[in-house]
Amino acid sequence: MMRVLLFVATNIAVLVLLNIVLFIVQGVFHVRLGGYSGLLVIAAVMGMGGSFISLAMSKWIALRTTGAQVIQQPHNEAERWLLDTVRSEAQKAGIGMPDVAIYDAPDMNAFATGMRRDHALVAVSTGLLHSMNRDQVQAVLGHEITHVANGDMVTMGLIQGVLNTFVIFFARVIGSIIDNALSGNRREGEGGGVFYFIIVMVLQTILGIFASMIVMWFSRWREFRADAGGARLGGRDNMVSALQCLAGNQGETTLPKAIQAFGISGAGGISRLFMSHPPIEERIAALRTMSS
């Protein structure tokens, strides 16, 4: 439940910050949005821009928040095997060699992030390396490589950007209608005053929650595709075995909230609508029905 609340709160906080900036610009510089068309343009710039700035910073944020160390030169046989396995799977998937990192955490997890397919980051926890055998780790790495090859990070950024755009736009349109009805002022696409600001913030909170449901639905769908890719690159039995191993870790993760949706295990939420990952039993069932 806390993971869900923090995910929603993070997205809402971004929208609140963007709107505060817009309100200040309008109030201080007396900038008018030019009706609904102008509002939609501003909303798109804010919604898409914020999303892609976050995506561009995703590797840096992931490394800083997890404390992951990129392997520049392997210090032991295990790190050498890890680099060789990622390189082999990246070549099979048709992408450039990602940066490979290890972060210290007891839970079994791995994630991939980055703005470009040919310059991504794949990181694994020490808990995963210590708890799984190499066949299982290979399948997990295949899962993460598939995320990169499918462009899932960029697609997530696009979806979040589009949703943010419409959240900003419709919150202000509806807020304007309510504010105009109560104050008697009629300005297309605009409102004014503290009451209008409060209305917009409340509407963005509500619309942001619904937007998060859509993002989580896509996240669950892409996990099935990544599992299938992990089965192709690392073997279906190995992918099933890895997920079975993860089942004992379900709900336990030390990944920062901002990147949990990119992890292999994904903690389940109190509501399926807000789960970034499908239940592991469903993922295993899907793999077992996959054609060889």
pLDDT of residue 243: 94
* Residue 268 scores a pLDDT above 90: no
Structure token pair of residue 210: 């619904």
pLDDT of residue 136: 96
Of residues 194 and 236, more confidence is placed in: 236
* Residue 253 scores a pLDDT above 60: no
| pLDDT tens-place string over residues 71-106 | 999 999 999 999 999 999 999 999 999 999 999 998
The residues annotated with a catalytic role in the active site are 144
pLDDT of residue 122: 95
* Residue 287 scores a pLDDT above 60: yes
Average pLDDT, the chain: 81
Task: Summarize the confidence of residues 213-233 as an average pLDDT.
Answer: 91
pLDDT of residue 193: 67
| pLDDT tens-place string over residues 196-210 | 888 888 898 888 888
pLDDT of residue 246: 87
* Residue 54 scores a pLDDT above 90: no
| pLDDT tens-place string over residues 26-47 | 555 455 555 778 788 888 888 8
The domain ranges of the chain are 1-292
pLDDT of residue 8: 47
With bands split at pLDDT 50, 70 and 90, how would you rate the model's confidence at 2?
very low
